[in-house]
Amino acid sequence: MSLWSLVVITLYRKCGIEFIRLFEPNREVLEALRSSNILVSLGVRTEDLKSLALSNEVIPSPYTMDVYGAMNNMHTAINSVGLVSTRVTAVISTQALAKSFPPPSGEFSNQAFPAMNDVTAFLSRTGTPLMINVYPYFAYASDPKHISFEYATFNAKQPVVVDGNFKYYNLFDAMVDDVYAALEKVNAGNVSTYISGTGWPSAGKKPYTSEENARIYDQNLYSHVLSGETPRRPDNLLDVFTYEMFNENKKESGVEQNFGLFYPNTLPVYKFFETC
């Protein structure tokens, strides 16, 4: 185990982190995690999709039609070695939707629909959640005239979107319910979801990004997930992965560098965890 791997795992334990998501296999990281008791959701590189499994936000993309076959093959392989409790799923973003406003209008795009029809049938059959990436920040930053900061960060006092019996006090719930509505339209209303990634950048595009804005979003997200469900699925508590643990200083300058809770030197970007 490298010193860096030891430092990171020690930080996870100190912060009380029990479940992490890796975008692709890394032998050193997986070996370091082997005896840590930290659960792992593991993705693969998009370019490996045809021969192996699933990557991040591959629907829609040029690899869309490879998804179902890869899922089926991976599921068979995992079960053949006795890992019957390990599940295979796919990660999508809200870009897989053709229509998403108001929330009950959500439906998959023409490009995504054929794959999602097969994928959701697989998930329904195996009792596996669909993973979705949900980023209110990007919607807010692209249209601050019509989307308020309060609505994007769980601070709205009045419902902003009202449709029938569904009232939305935050954009996060509306975006998740868009996907639920789309699932119902492909006869997959029984498929639940995990939020595979959500967060707010602390820098890169003023005035929309700041350490304080990121702290507000993450802390309000944490409180919301503990205490609430979405209007469309009031009985389903959400499992959420926060994106991400560390800022990525090797990416190009901008918001994509700055979603981390910690700097690469392990110092916190802002106070979030009580124990670290």
Please give the pLDDT value at position 57. Answer: 60
Instruction: List, in order, residues 6 or more apart from 91 with CB less than 8 Å away.
Output: 43, 54, 55, 56, 57, 58, 131, 132, 133, 196, 197
Residue 78 lies in a domain: yes
pLDDT in tens, 14-25: 999 999 999 888
β-strand pairing of 130-133 with 161-163: unpaired
pLDDT tens-place string over residues 198-225: 999 999 999 999 999 999 999 999 999 9
DSSP secondary structure letter of residue 193? E
Do 87 and 166 share a structural domain? yes
Confirm whether 207 is domain-assigned: yes
Q: Are residues 63 and 19 in the same domain?
A: no
* CA–CA separation, 53 and 13 (whole Å): 29
What type of residue is 205? K
Number of C-beta neighbours around residue 61 at 10 A: 18
Q: What's the total number of domains in the chain?
A: 2
b/e 86-119 (16+ beta carbons within 10 angstroms → b): eebbbbbbbebbbebebbbebbbeebbbebbebb
Indicate which CATH number applies to the domain containing 135. Answer: 3.20.20.80
- What would the pLDDT profile of 140-154 be if each residue is shown by its tens digit? 999 999 999 999 999
- Structure-token pair, residue 230: 């979405």
Express each pLDDT in 129-183 by its tens digit. Answer: 999 999 999 999 999 999 999 999 999 999 987 777 789 999 999 999 999 999 9
Reference 132, options 198, 181, 54; nearest CA is 198
pTM: 0.90
Residue 124, domain member (yes or no): yes
- What pLDDT, in 10s, does the model give residues 259-268? 999 999 999 9
271 lies in some domain: no
Q: What is the number of H-type helices and E-type strands within the chain?
A: 8, 10
Pairing type for strands 91-93 and 130-133 reads: parallel
Indicate if 146 and 209 belong to the same structural domain. yes
Q: What angle, 0 to 180 degrees and rounded to 10, lies between the N-to-C axes of helices 67-80 and 113-126?
A: 20
**Structural domain includes residue 269:** no
| Full domain range(s) for residue 10 | 1-42
The answer to whether the beta carbons of residues 219 and 272 sit under 8 Å apart is yes
CB–CB of 153/216 below 8 Å? yes
